[in-house]
Amino acid sequence: MLGLTLLLCLGQLPANSPLSREGLDGAERGLRYLARTQEASGGWRGDVGYKLQDQYQTWRKGAEHLGVTSLAGMAFLAGGHVPGRGPYGETVQKAVDYILKYVRSDGYITGNETRMYSHAFATLFLAEVYGMTEREDVRDALQRAVHLIVASQNSQGGWRYQPHVADADMSVTVCQVVALRAARNIGIQVPVNTIDRAIKYVRDSAVRDNEPPGMSYFADPVGSFRYQPTYEARATFALTAAGVTTLHGAGVYGDAEIERGLQYLESEVDDFSRLWGLGHQGHYFFYYGHYYAVQAFHMAGGRRYQNYFKSIQSYLLRMQNAAGWWPNHQGPGRNFSTAVACLILQIPKEYLPIFQR
């Protein structure tokens, strides 16, 4: 593992990688920016809030943000930087220790009123850290965090903004399933029934060609995935990427609904990127959508992955500021957008198990 870490930190790429030298340099500039903006506490700041239609409503502006911190820590791990070792070893170590301070006795990882999105990102980060370090304090926190996710699954098979509530949606569900997959990869027990119910929830959210005419409010295209498994819910590029990634995370591969979802994503990717990336100056829809789209296409592999990655790499390089950050006109802020952009660009390194085929 250390040999691979050294190769990645030195900038060498796997054979046939779609990541260009320019993309690699862009990710490195982003990591340098994140290293500069890390707080002495080990966290990163961001606006704590929630999505309201296509706006972002903030209730704690510029607070230390567990979700942003987890994504920033993941960006360094994806670059091959191990806690406590190498040029960013201290940066990652401080992030780990910061997150551990916010794991409650019931397993909920929350601070400054962050919610289940942040809990899932923190759980994913701790799972990948434990796979590298085998720290017992990390394992203990991770086990409790996983238990909280399992206990919070609703009757439909999904998750919502808070633990233990009746409602659910695709955007929160995908975060939990990816976190559970990472935990299971390193030996944390996850009930099979939890995964099976999540698969059903996602399948029930798919737009199919046999739906009764006039039932859907939005007439969304076949292959897309809805926000919730109801005809009144809308389907989007970001939600479809989340749906495909959830199925992959749950261990479903080569599935007809995955194939239809990928075809829909291929048909929409440029319009989505132009509108929410360039047009809206880095709207959180853009980063959220591509965070899952890159995972969906990476798992698919082949020419469609190569084509997709070259496209998103081009958009990200056009959007990056000379100082290393990426804009985020609507959302938690530059630390968030920069962390996600660095994660997307470094997926081809295939360093983290959760991002490996």
Q: pLDDT per residue over 270-312, tens digit each?
A: 999 999 999 999 999 999 999 999 999 999 999 999 999 999 9
| 59: containing domain | 2-355
- What ranges in the chain are assigned the alpha helix state H? 2-9, 21-37, 66-78, 89-100, 116-133, 136-152, 170-185, 192-204, 237-249, 256-272, 284-300, 302-319, 334-346
Q: What is the pTM of this model?
A: 0.95
- The whole-number pLDDT of residue 12 equals 58
pLDDT tens per residue across all 357 residues of the chain: 333 343 444 445 666 889 999 999 999 999 999 999 999 999 999 999 988 888 899 999 999 999 999 999 999 999 999 999 889 999 999 999 999 999 999 999 999 999 999 999 999 999 999 999 999 999 999 999 999 999 999 999 999 999 999 999 999 999 999 999 999 999 999 999 999 999 999 999 999 987 776 677 778 999 999 999 999 999 999 999 999 999 999 999 889 999 999 999 999 999 999 999 999 999 999 999 999 999 999 999 999 999 999 999 999 999 999 999 999 999 999 999 999 999 999 999 998 888 876
The Cα–Cα gap between 236 and 264 comes to: 10
Closest to 134 in 3D by CA, of 123, 144, 142: 142
pLDDT attached to residue 14: 64
Q: Maximum Cα–Cα distance for the chain, whole Å?
A: 59
Distance between CA atoms of 211 and 199, rounded to whole angstroms? 20
Q: What is the pLDDT of residues 303-346, one digit of tens each?
A: 999 999 999 999 999 999 999 999 999 999 999 999 999 999 99
CATH number at residue 350: 1.50.10.20
User: In this structure, are residues 60 and 72 in contact, taking their beta carbons and an 8 Å threshold?
Assistant: no
Provide the token pair at 36: 């500069």
Q: What is the pLDDT of residue 82?
A: 92
Instruction: Please state the domain count of the chain.
Output: 1
Q: Look at residue 100 in the predicted model and tell me its pLDDT.
A: 98
pLDDT above 90 covers a percentage of the chain that reads 87
Q: Which pLDDT score is estimated for 4? A: 38
